[in-house]
């Protein structure tokens, strides 16, 4: 029996908690989305995506304190290290900046923080703007009937995974953010929706090690260690359960079905020799085959939309899965919010696919080449370091060519209803050069506010409204001031577009719209954050590194950063050799 209540209508139904960026953006615009997820709340505590790149953090900066909260919990990655592991000849072959500063970001680094913590921060922000918001965990998408009327509501059937109870929801828009095995995408196959591409016959394993103990000097950097036994990618993590942690990414010889955690552990330790690496526990691991695929269409009848892994799959090597989903969700959400508010025509939703499909296609192409490089490097001999120069040059050249894309600096959207720029095709961002490209990101800058001389960032806080900047040059010349005053008078006219729409998006007073983070509490009347998704502050202490001239395998003990939980004293965790 399918249950229906008067409360089962929503303007936007988001299938999958990976769409919380979508919910957060809509809530800021006064839209109340419904979010369901087939998994349980606790299943999102560990693992999954692990890093935010500069462009994602830049977008989140417009949401206020969210980035500050995540920065306090995450590990900032500024450097890469490359190692040849060859017995007594083992040495670090190169150090490199993770992102070069000329990409022009305020936050020119990667931030490793697990997906469960990111989701928790987003949930709290949505709750702040939508008081009765709650993710409906353990509810899965089953079926949907699209409306016969253009832009009409659709009927969605969902099921409680633990009790089998079924409900019917009505939604104007449905957003599929339910991952690579998307149930919504399977439903949409009747409309010709499918993933196009191929699998790579390679098995990879990711493993999160907690309570890390090692005498290797570069576990605070993203490190690539190559040996005759294979290559391991080491990604420093935020502390997990109060202990220093890292993620290891490694290729396995066995199939996905045959892969085991024990095999991965043995291989990682073999590659690290002559250094040793130990840990207290593995709290999450996954074996996977690389599927480099992209969806054939991003929407069905402009009523059902796909974001994240539901519309493209690839390896985690570039750390772009979560980031692409964040940017796709933001792109779609503000447009959908404007349509639902009656401030934009529904046709602007078509720009979502026009803008994001090309970005995802480039991601798949980049990932395919990156996987090929790693596979090729594992086949090369490392009997002498002349070979090291060859593989290092290959990897460096590829990374340098893709710095800007990975950071999100080089993306330029084509001409659409929203980007009526020059007709010149393939207009590229000139990295490191001042420029304004229609369809590209607005670069960060600080300007002086004329009214009170306060320096302010040009990127305004997000609430769904636009900020218009006029580049008028020197006001005393060319009658610029008079033209500016004429524009000001036009803007203030009672029937201008600014007066008609300028205040319709804000539904709460400013003090109620401020982002806040609810802390864990023993008060039964307040939500308690389950163990593993507790929120903490990560304080950096001194972290000694190997000296520039050091090449050998032996190194003295060093101290990892301390972890400070709310209400608890700071504690240091020491790793001994």
Question: And the tokens for 1?
Answer: 């029996």
Nearest to 214 by CA among 274, 282, 283: 274
Percentage with pLDDT > 90 across the chain:
38
pLDDT for position 476: 78
Give a yes or no: residue 380 inside a domain: no
**What pLDDT score does 543 carry?**
41
The verdict on residue 46 lying in a domain is: yes
CB-count burial class (<10 Å; 0-12, 13-18, 19+) for 451: exposed
Q: Is residue 144 part of a domain?
A: yes
pLDDT tens digits, 389-410: 566 667 767 766 777 877 887 8
Residues in the chain: 577
**Band of pLDDT at residue 86, cut at 50, 70 and 90:** confident
Whole-number pLDDT of residue 102: 80
pLDDT at residue 23, as a whole number: 97
**Alpha-carbon dihedral of residues 20, 23, 27, 33, nearest 10 degrees?**
-140
CATH number at residue 323: 3.50.50.60
pLDDT (mean) for 104-123: 90
Asked whether residue 159 is assigned to any structural domain, the reply reads: yes
The mean pLDDT value of the chain amounts to 80
Cα dihedral: 302, 304, 310, 313 (round 10): -20
Residue 65 within a domain: yes
249-278 per-position pLDDT tens digit:
988 877 778 889 999 999 999 999 999 999
* Number of domains comprising the chain: 1
Element holding 330 (H helix, E strand): helix 321-340
Q: Considering the domain boundaries, does residue 354 fall inside one? A: yes
- Give the model's pLDDT for residue 568: 30
pLDDT tens by residue, 289-342: 777 889 999 999 999 999 999 999 887 767 778 899 999 999 999 999 999 999
When mean pLDDT is compared over 210-219, 432-441, 467-476, the highest value belongs to 210-219
Q: What does the pLDDT read at residue 417?
A: 86
E strands, 275-429, in order = 277-278, 281-295, 299-300, 304-306, 312-313
Residue 540: what pLDDT?
A: 52
Angle at 189 between CA 188 and CA 190, to 5 degrees: 85
User: Would 268 be classed as within a structural domain?
Assistant: no
Report whether pLDDT(516) > 70. no
Q: What is the mean pLDDT of residues 22-44?
A: 93
* Among 20, 127, 137, 21, residue whose Cα is nearest residue 527: 127
Q: Does 418 map to a domain?
A: no
DSSP count for the chain of H helices, then E strands? 12, 28
**Residues whose CB falls within 8 Å of the CB of residue 485, separated by 6 or more in sequence, listed in order:** none
First to last CA, the chain: 62
Range of the domain at 312: 2-70+113-198+293-366
118-138 residue pLDDT tens: 999 999 999 989 888 999 999
Calculate the CA 267 to chain-centre distance: 29
Contacting residues for 355 by C-beta, under 8 A, at least 6 apart: 331, 413, 414, 416, 439
Tell me the C-alpha distance between 118 and 130, whole Å.
Answer: 18
């Amino acid at each position: 029996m399918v249950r229906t209540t008067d409360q089962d209508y929503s303007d936007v139904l988001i299938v999958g908690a990976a769409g919380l960026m979508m919910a957060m953006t809509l809530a800021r615009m006064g839209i109340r989305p419904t979010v369901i997820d087939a998994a349980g709340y606790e299943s999102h505590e560990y693992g999954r995506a692990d890093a935010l790149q500069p462009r994602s953090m830049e977008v989140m900066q417009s949401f206020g304190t969210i980035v500050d909260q995540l920065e306090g919990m995450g590990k900032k990655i500024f450097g890469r290290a490359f190692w040849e592991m060859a017995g007594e000849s083992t040495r670090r072959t190169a150090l490199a900046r993770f992102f070069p500063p000329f990409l022009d970001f305020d936050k020119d680094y990667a931030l490793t923080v697990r997906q469960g913590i990111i989701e928790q921060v987003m949930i709290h922000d949505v709750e702040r703007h939508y008081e009765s918001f709650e993710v409906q965990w353990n509810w899965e998408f089953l079926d949907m009937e699209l409306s016969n009327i253009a832009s009409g509501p659709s009927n969605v059937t969902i099921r409680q995974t633990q009790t089998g109870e079924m409900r019917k929801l009505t939604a104007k828009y449905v957003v599929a953010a339910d991952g690579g095995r998307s149930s919504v995408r399977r439903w949409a196959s009747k409309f010709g929706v499918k993933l196009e591409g191929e699998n790579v016959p390679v098995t990879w394993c990711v493993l999160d090690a907690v309570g890390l103990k090692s005498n290797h000097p570069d576990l605070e950097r993203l490190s690539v260690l190559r040996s005759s036994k294979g290559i391991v990618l080491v990604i420093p993590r935020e502390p997990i359960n109060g202990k220093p942690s890292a993620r290891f990414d490694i290729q396995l010889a066995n199939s996905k079905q045959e892969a085991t955690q024990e095999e991965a552990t043995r291989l990682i330790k073999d590659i690290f020799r002559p250094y040793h690496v130990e840990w207290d526990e593995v709290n999450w691991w996954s074996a996977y085959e690389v599927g480099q695929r992209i969806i054939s269409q991003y929407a069905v009848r402009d009523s059902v939309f796909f974001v994240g892994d539901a519309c493209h799959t690839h390896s985690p090597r570039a750390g772009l899965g979560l980031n692409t989903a964040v940017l796709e969700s933001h792109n779609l959400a503000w447009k959908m919010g404007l349509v639902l508010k009656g401030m934009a025509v529904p046709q602007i939703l078509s720009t979502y696919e026009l803008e994001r499909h090309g970005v995802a296609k480039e991601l798949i192409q980049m990932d395919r080449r990156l996987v090929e490089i790693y596979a090729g490097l594992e086949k090369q001999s490392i009997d002498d370091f002349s070979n090291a120069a060859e593989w290092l040059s290959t990897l460096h050249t590829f990374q340098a060519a893709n710095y800007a894309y990975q950071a999100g600096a080089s993306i330029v959207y084509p001409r659409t209803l929203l980007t009526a720029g020059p007709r010149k095709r393939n207009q590229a961002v000139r990295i490191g050069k001042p420029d304004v490209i229609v369809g590209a990101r607005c670069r960060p800058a600080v300007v002086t506010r004329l009214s009170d001389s306060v320096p302010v960032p040009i990127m305004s806080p997000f609430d769904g409204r636009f900020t218009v900047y006029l580049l008028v040059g020197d006001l005393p010349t060319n009658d610029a001031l008079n033209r500016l005053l004429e524009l000001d008078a036009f803007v203030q006219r009672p029937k201008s577009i600014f007066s008609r729409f300028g205040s319709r998006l804000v539904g709460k007073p400013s003090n109620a719209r401020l982002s806040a983070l609810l802390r864990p509490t023993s008060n039964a009347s307040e939500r308690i954050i389950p163990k593993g998704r507790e929120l903490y502050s990560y304080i950096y202490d001194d972290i000694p590194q190997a000296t520039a001239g050091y090449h050998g395998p032996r190194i003295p003990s060093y101290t990892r950063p301390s972890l400070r939980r709310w209400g608890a004293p700071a504690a240091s965790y020491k790793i001994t050799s």
